[in-house]
Amino acid sequence: MLNILKSIPAADEKLVKELAQCSVATVHEALGQIGALDGAIKPLDRNMKLCGRAITVKCFERDNLMLIKAVSMAKQGDVIIADMGTCINEGPFGEVLAVDALAHGLAGLVVNCSIRDSEAVIRRGFPVFSVGLSVRGTAKATLGTINHPISIGGITVYPGDYVLGDADGVMIVPHDRIKEAIETSIAREEKETKIMDRLQAGERLFDIYDYQKVFDRLGCKEE
């Protein structure tokens, strides 16, 4: 098996820019409630956002060798998304790697473990989504994979998929559904804007969507 693959679907920069204008929650709902990573994976700072093509990484437990290699391979606008295994209390990514990533135009990092140097990473403005913070170091001794499918946050991610992150979390958009994601998200936002206008005018969400039918079907009894 080849540990490292380089031929993955190209990113459509125009569509990435359009997707970046959508919220994670909206895209998740618009695509039928798919693609949301576990809520434990959060932005290092609530103002951080990311959107880009996924470079997928699988590292050996407590080892960041493949993560360093992935940063060296990634192209401008790419998002590194890495399955670091079940050991979440190590910090395989810190300020030095963040500087490397920023210098080469990477769009962000998503990991299912902790990271270190959080104040410096926030100050430098590199978007990182992780499960926590830890100063514990990692080895650089064991091979993993780059640009193979990975499982992270309960979702399977394929190289070339699109990663969208904001204050609410992280969403994976399948590579072949990005146009659909944008179109349905815009339509959903327009619909919700009209709904909120009606709410501000005095109507109730319960009545607009006729949720009483659900209560009736369930046999709800009221005083």
User: Model confidence over 162-199: pLDDT tens digits?
Assistant: 999 999 999 999 999 999 999 999 999 999 999 999 99
DSSP 72-94: HHPPTT-EEEEE--S--S-----
Quick: pLDDT tens for 37-57: 999 999 999 999 999 999 999
Model pLDDT for residues 55-68, shown as the tens digit of each residue: 999 999 999 999 99
Alpha carbons 28 and 35: distance in angstroms, whole number: 6
Mean pLDDT of 207-222: 97
Share of the chain above pLDDT 90, in %: 96
**Cβ-based neighbours of 216, under 8 Å, separated by 6 or more:** none
Question: Which tokens is 83 given?
Answer: 């399955």
The whole-model pTM stands at 0.95
| Distance of alpha carbon 110 from alpha carbon 130, whole angstroms | 6
| Amino acid in position 183 | E
Using CA atoms, how far apart are residues 155 and 71, in angstroms rounded to an integer? Answer: 22
Per DSSP, helices labelled H in the chain are 13-19, 24-30, 65-73, 95-103, 118-124, 178-200, 205-208, 212-217
Q: What letter represents residue 79's amino acid?
A: V
Which among 39, 41, 19 has a CA at the least distance from the CA of 30?
Answer: 19
26 contacts 45 by C-beta, under 8 angstroms: no
Instruction: Show the domains of the chain with their CATH numbers.
Output: 13-176 (3.50.30.40), 184-217 (no CATH)
CA distance 91 to 98: 13
Taking the C-alpha atoms of 159, 162, 163 and 164 in order, what is their torsion angle to the nearest 10 degrees?
180
Strand partners, 50: 165
Query: Has residue 87 got a pLDDT over 90?
Result: no
**What would the pLDDT profile of 116-175 be if each residue is shown by its tens digit?**
999 999 999 999 999 999 999 999 999 999 999 999 999 999 999 999 999 999 999 999
What distance in Å separates the CA atoms of residue 112 and residue 115, rounded to the nearest whole number?
10
Instruction: Tell me which DSSP letter residue 45 carries.
Output: S
